[in-house]
Amino acid sequence: MNIMTEKIKVEEAVDISVVIPLYNEAESLAELYSRLVKTLSSVSNNYELIFIDDGSKDDSFCILERLHKDNPKVKIIQFRRNYGKAAAISTGFREAKGEVVITMDADLQDIPEEIPNLISKLNEGYDLITGWRLKRLDSFPKRFASRVFNTIASLLTGLPIHDLNCGLKAYRKTVVKELKIYGELHRFLPLLAHCEGFRIGEQELRHDLRKHGKSKYNSTRFLKGFFDLLTVLFLNKYLGSPLHFFGLFGIFFLFAGVGVNSYITYLRVSFGNIQGRYPLLFLGVLLMVVGIQFITTGLLGEMLADIHQENKEQPKIRCIRRNLNEKVLPARIKGDSPPN
């Protein structure tokens, strides 16, 4: 009897994947590539470079094609139009095969030579390391807006991160495969990972001036970022208990309205009239109505959350120990010291 055997092609494991979203960065790609190859070769020869061309209108894709022909480790993904950085990073995460995934911008402000420091910090037992541009070389308005935003984010989420918007980050494979990115939530990847129970760390990095092209930053980004922060906060912290969010505001407005109306009642009982304070009366009634609406919204949210709980996914497990000799830890780049 002839036994037919099928050869299964097993993809070679990749140590490091570098995901680089870009839009109109043709002038910096050649230098970025050469510096990345030199840096990564000192860490591991088993790496891949994933460039995501987010609908560039310059020669970025032509340059990337030449790099791809010269080096098979270079992978290119080209969008038909500009979809935004979140879509580019999400696509890069799906394509990445490395045990460690690095994200960075293509404008050379993120310094490729800092990647080994990120990996070294990651192997101290973290799941995600975000860069901290301690001496950031950007304009004052940009630095000031970023500092305000990072301070607000840390206070609201309890995650002490100084530089959420730093593009240079290092992730373990398990992190990038679980994070769901849409809209403009790429700014909050450390927060999203923190809400999923991953261990987040921070590494001080050098920062460089932009050498070519123009910054994609604009003044509306701060306002959009604040709204996105509220989205992350609500969906991850209050999705299972919406009454805790709406009820807080509801109780505040309701008690404020009761206080105002108690004062109006005191005037009516003591003086026989409210002394012409009709606007205050209307304000008290309005506050009570708004408070009741907030509480009612929270209760309706609790009903929906109860339905959501029936289909909720199972808790994510970091490690399992079934006996004294078994210990499951995240993979790390060979040659580095073990996690603490």
Tens digit of pLDDT at every position of the chain (340 positions): 343 333 334 456 789 999 999 999 999 999 999 999 999 998 888 999 999 999 999 999 999 999 999 999 999 999 999 888 888 998 999 999 999 999 999 988 889 999 999 999 999 999 999 998 887 767 777 777 778 877 777 777 778 888 888 889 999 999 998 887 776 778 888 888 888 889 999 999 888 777 766 665 655 666 676 677 777 777 666 666 777 778 888 999 999 999 999 999 999 888 888 888 889 999 999 999 999 999 898 888 777 766 655 555 555 555 555 555 545 444 455 445 444 4
Question: Strand order of the sheet with strand 47-53?
Answer: 74-78, 47-53, 14-22, 98-103, 169-172, 128-133, 200-205
Do residues 124 and 201 make contact, with C-beta atoms less than 8 angstroms apart? yes
> How far apart are alpha carbons 108 and 211 in whole angstroms?
7
Q: Strands, E, within the chain: which ranges? A: 14-22, 47-53, 74-78, 98-103, 128-133, 169-172, 200-205
Contacts of 66 (CB under 8 A, 6+ apart): none
Do residues 291 and 252 make contact, with C-beta atoms less than 8 angstroms apart? yes
Could you tell me the end-to-end alpha-carbon distance of the chain, in angstroms, rounded to an integer?
55
> How far apart are alpha carbons 14 and 120 in whole angstroms?
17
